[in-house]
Amino acid sequence: MTTPDLTPSGADHDVVVIGAGPAGMACVATLLAETSLTVGLVDAGHGAGGQYWRQPAPVPTPHPGEPAPRRAGLHHDLATFHRLRDALDRGAASGRLATRFAHHVWSVTANDPGPVAEGGFAVHVVDRSGRPGDESTSTITGRALVIATGAFDRALPFPGWDLPGVMTVGGLQALLKAGDVAAGRRVAIGGTGPFLLPVAAALAARGSTVVGVFEANHPVRWLRESRAVARNVGKLGEGAGYAATLLRHRVPLRPRRMIVAAHGTDRVEAVSVARVGRDGRPVEGSAERHTVDAVGVGWGFTPQLDIAVTLGLRLTRDRGGTPVVEVDRLHRSSRPRVYAAGETCGVGGAALALVEGRLAARGVAHDLTGADPASHPAPGPDGVAAVRLGAFADAIISAHPVPVGWVDALTDETIVCRCEEVRFGAVRAAIEAGATDARQVKQLTRTGMGWCQGRVCGYAAALLSAGAPGEPDERLIGAPMPLGALAQTDDQHDAM
Amino acid sequence: MSEFDTSFDFDGRRVPFRPGQTLGAALVAAGTTAWRTTRLEGRPRGLFCGIGVCFDCLLTVDGHANQRACLVVARDGMTALTQEGTGHDDT
Ligand SMILES: Cc1cc2nc3c(=O)[nH]c(=O)nc-3n(C[C@H](O)[C@H](O)[C@H](O)COP(=O)(O)OP(=O)(O)OC[C@H]3O[C@@H](n4cnc5c(N)ncnc54)[C@H](O)[C@@H]3O)c2cc1C
Ligand code: FES
């Protein structure tokens, strides 16, 4: 990696963008095209693309014996991906862009004294491009920071969800996109939201039997949001495309159904599926059993807010009550020179993430190139598109609530916190003893105290105790650090 | 199973992988769904989130404990071991 020339302020780059998904890629491409600013792009993945355009890790030497990958129909909008990736490659070749892939951001500090003269941000990264044990740390500084770290699957506990073979739908999709692996031969898909469809379609196209897409809500709810839907026929067309694939492979679409249990001893062997009544509760006696060897569940996505919380950015709530970064129309956060784009400021899919990435780039350009920071330039056509796609995202969220009856499926034996193996009985006792939010449940039961720091069970713990998603905790960003790498961090600071 | 000429060693067994795959993807492709047992109840676990968030998929790679199988890219000749119990600091 060549070190770029320092900016006049002494920072490594004018802008550091964290996350190379659709939002981060669009932001960088726009910065390169419309400004002369220098950019550093960091992503924990092995290349650009994010979740939407997830790729296998690059292979250093071609393997002649390798069969052609079966990837057809898996990735969408690949022309846009290639155009953005080419723009990034040109930026890197010209020296204006420095990319660091396989670099995990574990902390961000503001106004770090030393390398940055007047304000700015120090982004602390672990380089995981080598073998396990070879991690090293370093710091990247920038005058402005764009947070485009995306989201992760939202899961809810149910009996047996801790059996091997039960995964999140995003996890199933990631296995397919990056590994070309179908997690099972007979798969049940459950939860809510339009994302269940592409995953089921991809599995079916890959040869798996999808025993059903068990959608807790009903498509009729879409009609209530018909204005937003009508303005986004393009997006619906995509949904219709999946529907055609599902029809071709005879995948049953089962609205108002919910997976209420997974069965098996050392791995999943079957699921029970119940009908969801008008009251949002599983209808007693309606359960049917399906033999499966894999299960995918997803209840939407939770924005990845660790960096935003660390920097104290003001948060707001989306239409479903989920905390997201509060931004203005140019995606400026409450903190000067910090911007957020993509799923971090509201889950809305790849098309919206692209638009938001471009808007954030214009916000950066406006603020860093000497314009009056208090003035608000017109966001232009992208601003209009953002409003339109945002309304669509709201419609999707409103049409796919988590049904209240998910709780009915739990028994006292159901694991809630997978890391610390805390069962629902213990969580219930804590709530009965007066715990009114996820933090108190955690103090009383260790729910959310394990390796994942509550990323997986935090949503459930908040719903159970407070009836709504909670404020995100301040967490170590991403991952526990290898001790050796941490020790090395101190050396680095001394050397700077 | 010898579709690929690259492989790693998992608990003494040879697991082939397509270059670019993670250890987790290769294990699932080879029909292995679990490679860790939990600390308290000794329950089997494998992939759950698939993207590095849940830490369910931990295994020991080339002597280094607590590696996420869904993130570590497989390399020819790597050695991976089932992980029992915590792996917190007791390794
Ligand atoms: C597992 C999963 C699979 C998905 N698959 C699809 C799909 O197939 N189709 C679809 O339409 N939508 C999919 N989605 C929804 C998807 O999130 C959006 O459609 C779209 O990818 C959002 O773009 P984004 O740029 O906001 O975020 P993302 O695409 O999520 O990009 C965020 C990037 O930030 C990086 N990052 C996050 N934290 C850090 C950190 N601390 N340090 C360094 N880098 C970091 C990540 O590695 C990632 O590359 C998926 C979501 C998930 C969680
Ligand atoms: S499967 Fe969740 S961290 Fe690997």
- Any idea where the domains of chain B sit in the sequence? 6-81
From CA B56, how far away is CA B67, in angstroms rounded?
10
pLDDT at A388 over 50: yes
Q: Which of A107-116, A197-206, A402-411 has the lowest mean pLDDT?
A: A107-116
Say whether residue A181 is in contact with chain B using an 8 A CB cutoff. yes
Q: Domain A157-299 falls in which CATH fold? A: FAD/NAD(P)-binding domain (3.50.50)
Cα(A348)–Cα(A107) distance, rounded to whole angstroms? Answer: 26
| Amino acid A494: pLDDT | 34
C-alpha B54: how far from chain center: 14
A141 pLDDT band (50/70/90 cuts)? Answer: very high
Q: Look at residue A468 in the predicted model and tell me its pLDDT.
A: 82
Distances (CA, A) of A284 to A63, A273, A409: 55, 11, 11
Query: Which amino acid would we find at residue A255?
Result: P
Q: Tell me the sheet residues that pair with A99.
A: A41
pLDDT at A234: 58
Pick the CATH number of B6-81 from 3.65.10.10, 3.10.20.440, 3.40.50.300, 3.40.50.720: 3.10.20.440
For atom 40 of ligand 1, the residue with the nearest CA is: A105
- State both tokens at A202: 């991809």
Asked whether the beta carbons of A142 and A121 are under 8 A apart, the reply is yes
Return the closest-CA partner of residue B36 out of B23, B49, B46, B21.
Answer: B46
User: Helix, strand, or coil here: A208?
Assistant: coil
Mean per-residue pLDDT of chain A = 87
Q: What residue in A sits closest to B48 (Cα-Cα)? A: A167
**Mean pLDDT, rounded, for A170-174:** 96
C-beta of residue A414 within 8 angstroms of C-beta of residue A259? no
Q: Which residue of A has its CA nearest to B6?
A: A63
Decide whether any atom of ligand 1 lies within 6 Å of the A24 Cβ. yes
Confidence at residue B4, expressed as pLDDT on a 0 to 100 scale: 78
Query: B27-54, pLDDT tens digit by residue?
Result: 999 999 999 999 999 999 999 999 999 9
Token pair of A25 as six digits? 């890629």
**pLDDT tens, residue by residue, A40-87:** 999 999 999 999 999 888 876 445 444 444 454 567 788 999 999 999
Task: Inform me whether the C-beta atom of residue A57 falls under 8 Å from chain B C-beta atoms.
Answer: yes
Q: How confident is the model at residue A454, as a pLDDT?
A: 92
B50 shares contact with chain A (CB less than 8 Å): yes
Tokens of A368: 């860093």
* Mean pLDDT of all residues in A220-242: 61
**How many A from CA of A264 to the centre of ligand 2?**
21
Q: For residues B66 and B23, what is the distance between their CA atoms, to the nearest angstrom?
A: 13
Which of A256, A255, A254, A260 lies closest to A276, judged by CA?
A: A256
pLDDT of residue A237: 54
Domain ranges of chain A: 13-152+302-377, 157-299, 410-496
What would the pLDDT profile of A312-369 be if each residue is shown by its tens digit? 999 999 988 999 999 999 999 999 999 999 999 999 999 999 999 999 999 999 999 8
Q: Is B55 in the pocket of ligand 2 (CB under 6 A)?
A: yes
The yes-or-no verdict on residue A241 having pLDDT over 90 is: no
Q: Chain A contacts of B90, Cβ < 8 Å?
A: none
- pLDDT of the residue at A72: 47
Q: Lowest-pLDDT range, A29-33, A198-202, A249-253, A370-374? A: A370-374
Q: What average pLDDT does range A429-442 have in this prediction?
A: 93
Q: Are B75 and A65 in contact (CB < 8 Å)?
A: no
Ligand nearest the Cα atom of residue B50? 2
Query: A272 and A287 in contact (C-beta within 8 Å)?
Result: yes
Among A167, A180, A456, pick the best mutation site for testing chain B contact (most B Cβ within 10 A): A167
> Rounded to an integer, what distance in angstroms lies between the CA atom of residue A181 and that of residue A185?
11
* Residue A141 at interface with chain B, using a CB cutoff of 8 Å: no
Q: Residue A91 belongs to what H/E stretch?
A: helix A78-93
> Which pLDDT belongs to residue A225?
59
Cβ within 8 Å, pair A51-B62: no
Does the pLDDT value for residue A444 go beyond 60?
yes
Rounded Cα distance, A121 and A111, in Å = 6
For residue B47, the ligand 2 atom closest to its alpha carbon is 1
Q: Kindly determine whether residue A183 and residue B47, on different chains, have CB atoms separated by under 8 Å.
A: yes
Ligand 2 mutation pick, B22, B27, B47, max ligand atoms within 8 A of CB: B47
Task: Kindly report, residue by residue over A406-420, the tens digit of the pLDDT.
Answer: 999 999 999 999 999
| Cβ-defined contact of B38 to A421 (cutoff 8 Å) | yes
Instruction: Give the SS3 label for residue B55.
Output: coil
- The residue among A228 and B61 whose pLDDT is bigger is B61
The class level of CATH for A410-496 reads mainly alpha
For the segment B64-80, the average pLDDT, to the nearest whole number, is 95
Confirm or reject contact between A269 and chain B (CB < 8 A): no
Query: How many A from CA of B46 to the centre of ligand 2?
Result: 8
Residue A121 in contact with residue A108, Cβ under 8 Å?
A: yes
Question: What pLDDT score was predicted for residue A6?
Answer: 57
Site of tokens 């802008």 = A15
Q: What is the pLDDT of residue A10?
A: 81
List residues bridging with A415 in a β-sheet: A423
CA of A50 to the centre of ligand 1 (A): 4
CB distance B64–A133 less than 8 Å? Answer: yes
Return the C-alpha torsion angle A71, A73, A78, A81, nearest 10.
Answer: -60
Bigger pLDDT: A312 or B90? A312
The set of residues, in sequence order, having a beta carbon less than 8 Å from that of A340 and lying 6+ positions away, is: A146, A147, A148, A308, A313, A325, A327, A331, A333, A360
The kind and range of the H/E element at B16 are strand B13-16
Same fold, A13-152+302-377 and A157-299: yes
- Closest ligand 1 atom number to CA of residue A202: 8
pLDDT at A118: 58
Q: What one-character DSSP code corresponds to residue A276? A: B
CATH number, domain A13-152+302-377: 3.50.50.60
Say whether pLDDT at A123 is over 90: yes
Contact A435, A476 (CB under 8 A): no
- Degrees, nearest 5: CA angle A405-A406-A407: 85
